[in-house]
Structure 1
Amino acid sequence: MFPNRIKTLTTERQPDPILWNALKQGDRRAFAELYERYYRILYNYGYKLLPDAALVEDAIQDLFVDLWRIQQNLAEAESVKFYLFRSLRRKIHRLSEKENRFLSVDQAAFPFLTDTTPEHQFTAGEQEQQLTQQLAHALKQLPDRQSEVVTLRFYENFKTAEIAAIMGITDKSVRNTLHKAMTHLRENARYLAPFLGLLLLLLS
Structure 2
Amino acid sequence: MVEVEAEQEYQLKQANSDQGALVYASWPEIQLWQEFRSGNPQAFDYIFEQYIRLLYSYGHKFTAKSAIVEDCIQDLFIELWEKKHLLSATNSIKYYLFKSLRRKLTRSLEKEKHILGQVALENDYQFNITFSHETQFISNQITEEQHKGLTEALAMLSKRQKEVIYLRYFSNLSYEEVASIMGLNLNSTYKIVSKAIHSLKQHLMLPLAILLLLL
TM-score by length of 1: 0.80
Paired-residue identity, %: 34
After superposition, residues 126-165 of structure 1 pair within 5 angstroms as 127=142, 130-165=145-180
Q: 1:144 to 1:117 in 2, by over 3 A?
A: farther
Aligned position for 1:36? 49
Give the gaps of 5 or more residues in structure 1. Answer: 1-6, 200-204
Q: How far apart are 1:149 and its partner, in Å?
A: 0.5
Please name the residue that 2:39 is paired with: 26
Q: 2:179·2:186 contact (CA, 8 Å) conserved in 1? A: yes
Tell me the distance in 2 between the aligned counterparts of 1:116 and 1:129. 11
Change (3 A) 1:74 1:53: same
Q: CA deviation at 1:154?
A: 0.6
Q: AA paired with 2:18?
A: T
CA contact (8 A) 1:49 1:104 kept: yes
Determine the C-alpha separation between the residues in 2 that align with 1:117 and 1:146.
Answer: 24
The answer on whether the counterparts of 1:113 and 1:132 sit within 8 Å (CA) in structure 2 is: no
Q: Residue 9 of structure 1 corresponds to which residue in structure 2?
A: 17
Matches within 5 A, 1:54-203: 54-100=67-113, 103-107=124-128, 110-112=129-131, 114-115=133-134, 119=138, 124=141, 127=142, 130-189=145-204, 191-195=205-209
Per the alignment, do residues 174 and 112 of structure 1 end up closer, same or farther by CA in structure 2, a change over 3 Å counting?
farther
Give, in angstroms, the shift of residue 52 of structure 1.
1.7
Give the unaligned 5+ runs of structure 2.
1-13, 114-119
Q: Is the 8 A contact 1:23 1:71 kept in 2?
A: yes
| Structure with bigger gyration radius | 2
Equivalent residues of 2:127, 2:162 under 8 A apart: no
- Secondary structure at the aligned position of 2:18 is classed as coil
Structure 1 residues 198 and 44, CA gap change in structure 2 (3 angstroms): closer
Letter in 2 for 1:179: S
CA–CA distance in 2 between the matches of 1:144 and 1:138?
13
Q: Deviations over 1:29-51 (max 9, x none)?
A: 11111111101111111110222
Question: Residues 9 and 111 of structure 1: is their aligned pair in 2 closer, same or farther, counting only changes over 3 Å?
Answer: farther
Residue 202 (structure 1) aligns with: none
CA distance in 1, matches of 2:63, 2:108: 10
User: C-alpha displacement at 1:135, in angstroms?
Assistant: 1.8
TM-score, normalised via structure 2 length = 0.76
Where does residue 4 of structure 2 map in the other structure?
Answer: none
Question: Separation in 2 of the partners of 1:149 and 1:23?
Answer: 29
Q: Shift of residue 93 of structure 1?
A: 1.0
Distance 1:106 1:114 in 2: 18
Alpha-carbon distance in structure 2 between the residues aligned to 1:150 and 1:184: 12
